[in-house]
């Protein structure tokens, strides 16, 4: 199997701050933005930022990483 794309999704409570970090430090450009979801792109690389408390996140999946991670 050959990997042809990769789209990591980061969950956070700080959507705007995370967007700004990847834009300012790594040169990502905004391709879509809502209050709970941001899509960024830099060349062939894409990245999503998702609000960890949004209704689309299954119960328990939006919890921050703890010692057991």
Look at residue 8 in the predicted model and tell me its pLDDT.
92
**pTM score:** 0.79
Q: Which two tokens stand for residue 13?
A: 């409570």
Average pLDDT in the 8-19 region?
92
* Digit-coded pLDDT (tens) for 21-63: 999 999 999 999 999 999 999 998 999 999 988 888 877 776 6
Q: Which residue has the higher pLDDT, 8 or 61?
A: 8
Q: Report how far apart, in Å, the C-alpha atoms of 10 and of each of 15, 18, 37, 42, 50 are.
A: 9, 9, 10, 16, 6
pLDDT at 66 over 70: no
pLDDT at 65 over 80: no
């Amino acid at each position: 199997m050959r990997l042809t794309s990769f789209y990591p999704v980061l969950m956070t409570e700080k959507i705007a701050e995370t967007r700004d970090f990847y834009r300012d430090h790594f040169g990502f450009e905004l391709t879509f933005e809502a209050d709970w979801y941001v899509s960024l792109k830099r060349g062939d690389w894409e990245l999503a930022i998702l609000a960890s408390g949004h209704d689309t996140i299954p119960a328990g999946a939006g919890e921050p990483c703890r010692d057991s991670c």
